Structure 1
Amino acid sequence: MLASSLAHRPPSQLAAWQASPEAPLPPDVAGLIFDLDGTLVDTMPVHYRAWMAALEPHGLKLPEARFYSLAGAPTVKIAETLCREQAVAADHQAIAAQKEAHYLAHIAEIKRIEPVVALTKAASAAGLKISVASGGHRNVVSRQLAAAGLTELFAVVACADDVEHGKPAPDTFLLAATRMGVSPQACIVYEDAELGFQAAGAANMRCVDVRPWYGAANK
């Protein structure tokens, strides 16, 4: 299934393993790759408030719908895009740093997305390889995993620092698969954002939109 079409498929057209975290996985699957923000942990409200705090001094706008459409992109890339689109001559590197500082100051507010976390634990117990592939930077990703109590679960973590091209390019997912020692065709990606769906499709990996699993399909 073309990954980028997932958000537009009715439940009746999804495979059982896409519709429910409790359904058996296809027998040829050897590795599961999980996005972090909005997939394993509910960080998006905290991220959005951090963006508002960082952008307001520069007169930059980020409507909530636009924020969700950019989910999965590196922070610096988002800041650069907003400055360019709104013709604001601001230091996008500094804006990104301010945003991350605001976010980290409130990282204790993030919450685990339990249906997805339960799947990671069951898959690991069954002998499948699991990994995280995030558009975030490693210093932030590491603190998020620690805050959610997930650090020990993931031996393989691929971040924006590790690749030249972030999502929607396939690089992050392909790197995670390589580090797990699993072919792309034997992987399933778990995502919540359009850029991630596109990246999974570009990586030739099967994909699951996890948002219906926790009632966030309207984002």
Structure 2
Amino acid sequence: MEQVSDFSRLSKLTEGDYEAFLYDCDGTLADNMPLHAESYVEVARGYNFNLDPAIINELAGWPIVQVVEEINIRYQLAMDPQEFRVKKAQVFKERFLEQVMPITYVTEHLKANAGKVRIGVVSGGDRAGVQRTLEVIGVSDFVEVLVCAGETPKGKPFADPFLRAAELLGVDPKKCLVFEDGIPGVKAAEAAGMHWVRIDEFKFG
């Protein structure tokens, strides 16, 4: 019943004169943030570092390379960000990817609005992993544009990924509504001049 109630709340919150809906993937469409955190912890362990998974939630939406750079700064480490990214992607793909479940009220919202507005997904994850995640949770056929880590000069919390998605869709950024679960994504949406919905708290901005 809660999923049905949440779908109704989300639908009511997103009424308006929008031409495109831009969804984050991890933690917004896909219920996979604990799995991503676990893969970060496993790879960090290979560098003899016990990573607190709370930092992964704090930096939700950041590209992996930037997350590792931030961890290096905070803990005076020297982990290779690109090497870490490759290892983390491999661990997630091999151990966790096929277990990912949808956040149903958000995926149903996406499907209900496909054809009414343009649909894009903007993620801080690697393209191959995000594409497969969208397939696993059953929404890949509804997504017109996908913007992922490394495909814009800067990632979230900067505006670049959302502005790129709007450009690819041919939609004015002011006519885009962003769906996010993390603060970096909300900041990126605001920087792009877009309204946003924080799906886990049903906040609108």
Q: What TM-score do you get using the length of structure 2 for normalisation?
A: 0.89
Query: Of 42, 47, 52, which residue of structure 1 is paired with 2:41?
Result: 52
TM-superposed deviation, 1:122: 1.3
Amino acid at match of 1:123: N
2:102 matched residue in structure 1: 112
Structure 1 stretches of 5 or more lacking a match? 1-18
The answer to whether 1:37 aligns with 2:26 is yes
The answer to whether 1:150 aligns with 2:130 is no
Distance in 2 between the 1:25 and 1:110 partners? 26
1:20-48: CA deviation from partner (whole Å, max 9, x where unpaired): 22317444211110000000111101101
Change in CA separation of 1:101 and 1:128 when aligned onto 2, cut-off 3 Å: same
TM-superposed deviation, 1:81: 1.8
Amino acid at match of 2:66: K
What value does the CA root-mean-square deviation take over the aligned residues?
2.1
1:158-193: CA deviation from partner (whole Å, max 9, x where unpaired): 111320100000111111111111111111100000
1:65-101: CA deviation from partner (whole Å, max 9, x where unpaired): 2221111000111112212322222322212211111
Distance in 2 between the 1:180 and 1:90 partners? 37
Distance in 1 between the 2:73 and 2:65 partners? 12
Distance in 2 between the 1:190 and 1:94 partners? 30
Distance in 2 between the 1:123 and 1:68 partners? 28
Distance in 1 between the 2:135 and 2:101 partners? 12
Query: Of 132, 141, 145, which residue of structure 1 is paired with 2:130?
Result: 141
Change in CA separation of 1:24 and 1:64 when aligned onto 2, cut-off 3 Å: closer
2:91 matched residue in structure 1: 102
Once the two structures are superposed, the pairs formed by residues 1-219 of structure 1 within 5 Å of their partners are 20-23=9-12, 25-105=14-94, 106-125=96-115, 127-212=116-201
Distance in 2 between the 1:61 and 1:24 partners? 40
Distance in 2 between the 1:149 and 1:25 partners? 22
Distance in 1 between the 2:97 and 2:197 partners? 26
Distance in 1 between the 2:173 and 2:24 partners? 15
1:10 matched residue in structure 2: none
Q: Percent identity?
A: 31
Distance in 1 between the 2:18 and 2:140 partners? 23
Q: What stretches of structure 1 move > 3 A for 4+ residues in a row?
A: 24-27
Distance in 1 between the 2:81 and 2:70 partners? 9
Q: Secondary structure at the match of 1:200?
A: helix
Distance in 1 between the 2:52 and 2:60 partners? 13
Amino acid at match of 2:60: A
Q: What TM-score do you get using the length of structure 1 for normalisation?
A: 0.84
Q: Which moved more, 1:161-170 or 1:74-83?
A: 74-83
Distance in 1 between the 2:90 and 2:13 partners? 41
TM-superposed deviation, 1:110: 0.7
Q: Which moved more, 1:64-73 or 1:78-87?
A: 78-87
Q: Secondary structure at the match of 1:132?
A: strand
